[in-house]
Amino acid sequence: MELKIGDKVDLIVVRNTGIGFTVLINEEFEGLLYKNELYQKIEEGQKLVGYIKKIREDGKLDVSLQAVGFKQTIVKNEIIILDALKQKEGFLPLNDKSKPDDIKYQLGMSKKAFKNAIGGLFKQKLITISEEGITLFSKD
């Protein structure tokens, strides 16, 4: 098998199982897409792009619709936060002490993901963080 973890692959949804969807990977291998990792509705016969998440000892493959890896996730979340800041005139009333539900409702991510992303944005000097929330850094 020439596939490795993180590889981008073509998926065809084959059937709905109790824990997820059986998929055909690159029209050659069978894999599993877990229901608890889906953030969109999918149906049998649908073609998708996915990523190899895990290669199990029994040779079976687990796949994800999100790119695998810490770095890709943080960058994606940083972009979500920057876009939200631009839509809200440069300010969001969220910080590292905000309630997890508030973060999930406003940005669609976990508190841990939010904290990692704002940490990265702060290090890049793109935002400032205060008790009131986060502000898009301006050079004025």
Q: What is the pLDDT of residues 60-114, one digit of tens each?
A: 899 988 776 666 677 888 999 999 999 999 999 999 999 999 998 899 888 888 9
> Which residues in 98-136 are b (16+ Cβ under 10 Å) and which e?
beeeebeebbebebebbbbbbebbeeeebbeeeeebbeb
What is the spatial order of strands in the sheet that 127-129 belongs to? 91-92, 134-136, 127-129
**What is the pTM (predicted TM-score) of this model?**
0.54
Please check whether residues 113 and 94 belong to one and the same domain.
yes
Is 56 a member of any domain? yes
Mean pLDDT of the 20-25 span? 95
What pLDDT is stored for residue 1 in this prediction?
62
CATH classification at residue 98? 1.10.10.10
pLDDT at position 117: 93
- pLDDT of 59 reads 81
Residues 46 and 98 in one domain: no
Nearest-angstrom CA–CA distance, 32 and 47: 14
Same domain, 77 and 130: yes
Do 20 and 44 have their domain in common? yes
Which structural domain range is residue 48 located in?
8-64
Whether 47 and 89 share a structural domain: no
For residues 85 and 129, membership in a common domain is answered with yes
Count of C-beta atoms within a 10 Å radius of residue 63: 25
Examine the pLDDT at 140 and tell me if it is beyond 60: no
**Stronger pLDDT, 118 or 112, i.e. the higher one:** 118
> Per the structure, how many domains does the chain have?
2
- Residue 1, domain member (yes or no): no
The answer to whether the CB of 65 falls within 8 A of the CB of 102 is no
Same domain, 84 and 127: yes
pLDDT, position 39: 67
Look at residue 28 and tell me whether its pLDDT is greater than 80.
Answer: yes
Residue that terminates a domain, selected from 64, 85, 106 = 64
Q: Are residues 58 and 76 in the same domain?
A: no
Query: Are both 84 and 132 inside the same structural domain?
Result: yes
Average pLDDT over residues 27-52: 89
Residue 65: predicted pLDDT: 85
